[in-house]
Structure 1
Amino acid sequence: MSTRLQGLLDGQLDRHSEVAAAMRAQLPEIQGVADELIRRLAAGGVLYTLGNGGSAADAQHLAGELIGRYLRERRPLPAVALIGDAAVVSCIANDYAYDDVFARQVTALVRPDDMVVGFSTSGTSPSVVRGLAAARANGACSVAFTSVRGEDLAAQADLAVVVPAEETARIQEMHVLALHLVSELVDRWASELEEPS
């Protein structure tokens, strides 16, 4: 490997480590999201997730960790990634506008005991912002996973995990870290419920 390429890769790894270390300041917010999600799941609520592009993958990832498992054997937890139904998403995008794909689904499905988590690296994605606004209008808990540029999205959120970075790659890496931390706490709670006394 050339010295120049090595330096480039080292710089990316160094920046990842810096942002990951700075995420310690977000641990109270991450725990707050997990605690509220646990409270809502215990009350019979459902987690709904949404996002576009790489953030859609994060939305599906979080829903998958709850329906499947993170580390422990336990019952499946109710979670739905709203990006996952191509027919519904393309129908809404075609008949209305792409900016409405999440808000219409949230309005139709989400109830006050539920939680809606929106992922957006920019924090300005109209479809995600409108989706969280619809969640609040329905009385559900709205959560933003965003970045320091994400004021638009955070304004629609009851809870927010804000990555202290502006580079898309670093933001996405920290969103995965944060969703894994939430998954760990929820997974532990759900598995402890099922342990014999």
Structure 2
Amino acid sequence: MTELQVERVLETQLDRHAEVTAAMRDQLPQVQAVADELIRRLAAGGVLYTYGNGGSAADAQHLVGELIGRYLRERRPLPAVALIGDAAVVSCIANDYSYDDVFARQVEALARPQDIVVGFSTSGTSPTVVKGLAAARANGACSVAFTSRRGQDLAAAADLAVVVPADETARIQEMHLLALHLISELVDRWAAGTDHPKTVESP
């Protein structure tokens, strides 16, 4: 490609990112609802369990890092577990049962009614994510889906859902990251107190 063609490709990607970001304003009530429910359950002694596949697995781990570590403010660590990090457990379930059960089996074992289970799926059709949220609801825990407009069935099956108004995987993942940062901001303010000084961010 010529330099001009490369520039146009990059500008098109940035323009589309900005377009979807603006459209996410319509999802702010859902983002706030997820944050409010997460705060309510953490305050009552609940735990966040979260998971996803591929890039969505990274989002799940990112969210856990923001809770156990911190987002911007110094505060107590908050209980959160990513269900994708234990290779022995994941491979055991995949080998002895099915890969489709790798999250559902863990949720069935761990999630209690006071807990909240968050599944990330750009497509909204991943069997592992669908079955994991079904297990959460069966256990009486709150089920939350982060998905896209391709995942309306998953969103409808969850107690709460953040639905990105896009079809492109890259844009969906970018908006999931934005949403989890917005949620982390609200959780931070609750856990640290709104008048707590912001700490210096670490790399």
Pairwise same-fold verdict (TM > 0.5): yes
Deviation at 1:145, TM superposition (A): 0.3
**Structure 1 pair 136–12 and aligned structure 2 pair: CA distance change class (3 A):** same
Aligned-partner Cα distance in 2 for 1:161–1:154: 8
Instruction: Report the TM-score, using the length of structure 1 for normalisation.
Output: 0.97
Deviations along 1:122-167, one digit per CA (max 9) or x if unpaired, are 0000000000000000000000000000023213210000000000
**Structure 1 pair 34–191 and aligned structure 2 pair: CA distance change class (3 A):** same
Moved segments of 4+, more than 4 Å: none
Once the two structures are superposed, the pairs formed by residues 113-152 of structure 1 within 5 Å of their partners are 113-152=114-153
Aligned-partner Cα distance in 1 for 2:109–2:53: 20
Aligned-partner Cα distance in 1 for 2:116–2:164: 20
**Paired residue for 2:184?**
183
Deviations along 1:29-79, one digit per CA (max 9) or x if unpaired, are 000000000000000000000100000000000011000000000000000
**Paired residue for 1:81?**
82
Structure 1, unpaired ranges of 5+: none
Q: Secondary structure at the match of 2:193?
A: helix
Aligned-partner Cα distance in 1 for 2:170–2:148: 11
Asked if the contact 1:136–1:156 (Cα under 8 Å) also holds between the matched residues in 2, the reply is no
Structure 2, unpaired ranges of 5+: 197-203
Quick one: which amino acid aligns to residue 177 of structure 1? Answer: L
CA RMSD across the alignment: 1.2
Q: Secondary structure at the match of 1:124?
A: coil
Asked if the contact 1:29–1:160 (Cα under 8 Å) also holds between the matched residues in 2, the reply is yes
Deviations along 1:97-140, one digit per CA (max 9) or x if unpaired, are 00000000000000000000000000000000000000000000
Q: Secondary structure at the match of 1:90?
A: helix
Q: Secondary structure at the match of 1:20?
A: helix
**Structure 1 pair 31–89 and aligned structure 2 pair: CA distance change class (3 A):** same
Aligned-partner Cα distance in 2 for 1:194–1:151: 39
Aligned-partner Cα distance in 1 for 2:12–2:194: 44
**Structure 1 pair 96–2 and aligned structure 2 pair: CA distance change class (3 A):** same
1:64 corresponds to 2:30:
no
The number of aligned residues is 195
Q: Secondary structure at the match of 1:107?
A: helix
**Paired residue for 2:106?**
105
**Paired residue for 2:12?**
11
